[in-house]
C-alpha cells in the first residue's frame, strides 16, 4: 500500500490526576489536577515528542488535559498554537462523577455491568432544560468525536497535529477514525501520557491508518503493568525483523527469506524491550524469518521451547512472489491497484485471497487462546511471532473490523502489539498496545522499512 500520512494526528492522554490515583470517575468534572507522577510523566512525554513539528495543538478545556498540553508545548523546539476544543471534553457521566469505581459497582451494579459489557446500550436518565431525558454517554461521545474529525481534517489537510485529551474521548477518536463500532469502546487501552498515531490520506471518510496505539515505552513500560492480582492472558504479537526483500519492497509471501543484519539487530532490540516481561510460552510461524526473530528474542530464555505453527505462515502471493511492485504492475496492474485499494477483492494468481488468510489466522489465534493453561497466581504471558498480513488480520479481527480494513493497520518490522484477556479467554480482548516500534526508531513514529509483505 502506498504510504498514508497526508494528515498525521498524534493523540495523547493527560497525565495521572488525583482522581485517577483515587480510582474515581472523573467525566467532565474539572476538580481533579495532575499528581506529582502526572507532572513527571507529562515532562517525559514532552521530551519524547519534542523533535516533532506540529502545526497546532488541540486540547480539552479540562485542567488535567490543558496542564498536560502546556507542559508538552514547553518542550517543543518550535512555537505552536494551543487551542482548546469543547469537542475534546471527556465522556459525560453526570450520575457517576466523583464516585470511586467501587462505589459505582456497589450502587449501580446492573448499569455498571451494561457499561462494561454493552457500552453502546448504556444510558443514564438526566435532567436537561427542566426535563428528564435518557442520555447515552458512549453513543454521544462517538458523535462528538466524529464532529471533531470532520472539523480538524477540513482545517489541517497535510499537516501534523497534536491532540491532548482523555481516556474516553481518545477511545472514541480512535474508534470513529478506524470505523470501529461503539460496542468495542472497552477494547482499547488508553494509559496516562500514552501516545497514539493516526495517518489520514485525505478528508473524513477517506483511507486512514493506525500507525500505533498506546505507546508507553517512554514512561518506562512497554505496556501497562498488570494490576495487582490480575490474572488472565496477555499475548505479545510480534512481526519478524527486516529482510533484504522488505528493504527492496519485493513480495516475499511464502518464499523463505531470512532476516538481514538489520532484522537481527531489530530482534535483539525487541528482546531488550521485553527483557523484564515474563514470557511463559512462545509460538512462531514455521517460516525462517519469524522463527529466527523468536529465537533471538528468547536467546536468554532457553527454558522456553518455540512451537512452530504452519497456519501462521505469510499470505501466499502466488505468481507475485519474488517480484518487485513495478514488475508486478507490468503484468497485473489492475489487480495490484485493487490490492492497494480493495484488498478483500483480490485473488492472488496461483495464491491465496485475503479471506483465506483471515480464516486460517483467526482460527489459529482463537485456538492458541483457548488452549492456554492459565496460572492461578499471576498473568499468563505468551509471545506469537508472525508476519505483516497475519498480524494485520488478527488485529482487524480483535477490533471488530473486516478484511476490507486490512490497510488500516500498520505493522513495522520488529514491532510489538499487546493483547490482554483480563477476564480470561471467555472475556473480551483489550488492545493494550499496537505496533510499538519506539525501541527501533528512537522516536514516536514508525520508521521501519515499508516493504512488501
CATH number of the domain bearing residue 280: 3.40.50.1240
Question: pLDDT exceeding 70 applies to what percent of the chain?
Answer: 98
Torsion of the alpha carbons at 406, 407, 412 and 418, rounded to the nearest 10: -50
Q: pLDDT grade, residue 1 (50/70/90)?
A: very low
Domain count, the chain: 2
In a domain, 226, yes or no: no
What is the domain range of residue 333? 233-441
Q: What is the three-class DSSP state of 27?
A: coil
Under a CB-based contact definition with an 8 Å cutoff, are residues 438 and 216 in contact?
no
Q: Are residues 141 and 11 in the same domain?
A: yes
Q: Are residues 349 and 241 in the same domain?
A: yes
Q: Are residues 133 and 251 in the same domain?
A: no
Predicted model pTM? 0.96
Residue 17 has pLDDT above 50, yes or no: yes
Cβ neighbors of 9 (< 8 A, separation 6 or more) are 152, 160, 161, 162, 163, 197, 198, 199, 200
pLDDT in tens, 167-226: 999 999 999 999 999 999 999 999 999 999 999 999 999 999 999 999 999 999 887 777
Predicted local distance difference test score (pLDDT) of residue 377: 75
Q: How far apart are CA 261 and CA 269, in angstroms?
A: 12
In a domain, 84, yes or no: yes
pLDDT in tens, 249-287: 999 999 999 999 999 999 999 999 999 999 999 999 999
Task: Take residue 326 and report the three cell numbers written for it.
Answer: 513495478
Q: Are residues 177 and 240 in the same domain?
A: no
Cβ neighbors of 351 (< 8 A, separation 6 or more) are 253, 315, 316, 317, 318, 319, 320, 321
Torsion of the alpha carbons at 156, 158, 159 and 165, rounded to the nearest 10: 60
pLDDT in tens, 128-172: 888 899 999 999 999 999 999 999 999 999 999 999 999 999 999
Q: Are residues 188 and 264 in the same domain?
A: no
Residue after which a domain boundary falls, among 219, 246, 261: 219
In a domain, 451, yes or no: no
Q: Cβ–Cβ contacts within 10 Å for residue 255, how many? A: 16
Residue 83 has pLDDT above 70, yes or no: yes
Residue 3 has pLDDT above 70, yes or no: no
Under a CB-based contact definition with an 8 Å cutoff, are residues 49 and 75 in contact?
yes
Predicted local distance difference test score (pLDDT) of residue 222: 86
Q: How far apart are CA 208 and CA 234, in angstroms?
A: 27
How much is the average pLDDT of 76-96? 96
Q: Are residues 344 and 210 in the same domain?
A: no
pLDDT in tens, 26-56: 999 999 999 999 999 999 999 999 999 999 9
Backbone angles phi, psi at 56, to 5 degrees: -165, 160
Amino acid at each position: 500500500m502506498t504510504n498514508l500520512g497526508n494528515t498525521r494526528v498524534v493523540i495523547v492522554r493527560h497525565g495521572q490526576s488525583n482522581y485517577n490515583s483515587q480510582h474515581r470517575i472523573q467525566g467532565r468534572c474539572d476538580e481533579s489536577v495532575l499528581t506529582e507522577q502526572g507532572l513527571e510523566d507529562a515532562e517525559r512525554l514532552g521530551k519524547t515528542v519534542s523533535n516533532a513539528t506540529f502545526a497546532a495543538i488541540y486540547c480539552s478545556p479540562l485542567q488535567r488535559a490543558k496542564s498536560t498540553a502546556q507542559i508538552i508545548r514547553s518542550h517543543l523546539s518550535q512555537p505552536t498554537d494551543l487551542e482548546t476544543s469543547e469537542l475534546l471534553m471527556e465522556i459525560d457521566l453526570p450520575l457517576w462523577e466523583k464516585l470511586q469505581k467501587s462505589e459505582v459497582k456497589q450502587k449501580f451494579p446492573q448499569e455498571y455491568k451494561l457499561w462494561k459489557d454493552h457500552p453502546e446500550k448504556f444510558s443514564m436518565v438526566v435532567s436537561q432544560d427542566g426535563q428528564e431525558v435518557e442520555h447515552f454517554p458512549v453513543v454521544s461521545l462517538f458523535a462528538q468525536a466524529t464532529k471533531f474529525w470532520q472539523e480538524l481534517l477540513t482545517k489541517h489537510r497535510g499537516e501534523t497535529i497534536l491532540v491532548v485529551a482523555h481516556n474516553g474521548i481518545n477511545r472514541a477518536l480512535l474508534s470513529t477514525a478506524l470505523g470501529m463500532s461503539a460496542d468495542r469502546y472497552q477494547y482499547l487501552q488508553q494509559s496516562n501520557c500514552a501516545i497514539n498515531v493516526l495517518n489520514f490520506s485525505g478528508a473524513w471518510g477517506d483511507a486512514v491508518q493506525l500507525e500505533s496505539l498506546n505507546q508507553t515505552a517512554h514512561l518506562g513500560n512497554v505496556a501497562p503493568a498488570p494490576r495487582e492480582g490480575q490474572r488472565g492472558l496477555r499475548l505479545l504479537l510480534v512481526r519478524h525483523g527486516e529482510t533484504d526483500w522488505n528493504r527492496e519492497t519485493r513480495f516475499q509471501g511464502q518464499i523463505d527469506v531470512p532476516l538481514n543484519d538489520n532484522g537481527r539487530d531489530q530482534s535483539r532490540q525487541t528482546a531488550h524491550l521485553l527483557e523484564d516481561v515474563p514470557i511463559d510460552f512462545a509460538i512462531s510461524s514455521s517460516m525462517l524469518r519469524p522463527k529466527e526473530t523468536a529465537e533471538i528474542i528468547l536467546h536468554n530464555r532457553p527454558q522456553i521451547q518455540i512451537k512452530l505453527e504452519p497456519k501462521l505462515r505469510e499470505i501466499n502471493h502466488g505468481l507475485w512472489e519474488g517480484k518487485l511492485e513495478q514488475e508486478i504492475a507490468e503484468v497485473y496492474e489492475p489487480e495490484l491497484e485493487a490490492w492497494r485499494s480493495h484488498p478483500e477483492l483480490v485473488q492472488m494468481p496461483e495464491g491465496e485471497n485475503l479471506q483465506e488468510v483471515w480464516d486460517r489466522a483467526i482460527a489459529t489465534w482463537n485456538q492458541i487462546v483457548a488452549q492456554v493453561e492459565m496460572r492461578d497466581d499471576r498473568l499468563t504471558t505468551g509471545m506469537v511471532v508472525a508476519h505483516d498480513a497475519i498480524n494485520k488480520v488478527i488485529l482487524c479481527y480483535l477490533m471488530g473490523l473486516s478484511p476490507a480494513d486490512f490497510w488500516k493497520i500498520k505493522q513495522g518490522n520488529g514491532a510489538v502489539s499487546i493483547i490482554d484477556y483480563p477476564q480470561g479467554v471467555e472475556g473480551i480482548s483489550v488492545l493494550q498496545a499496537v505496533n510499538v516500534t519506539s525501541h527501533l526508531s528512537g522516536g514516536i513514529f514508525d520508521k521501519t522499512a515499508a516493504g512488501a509483505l
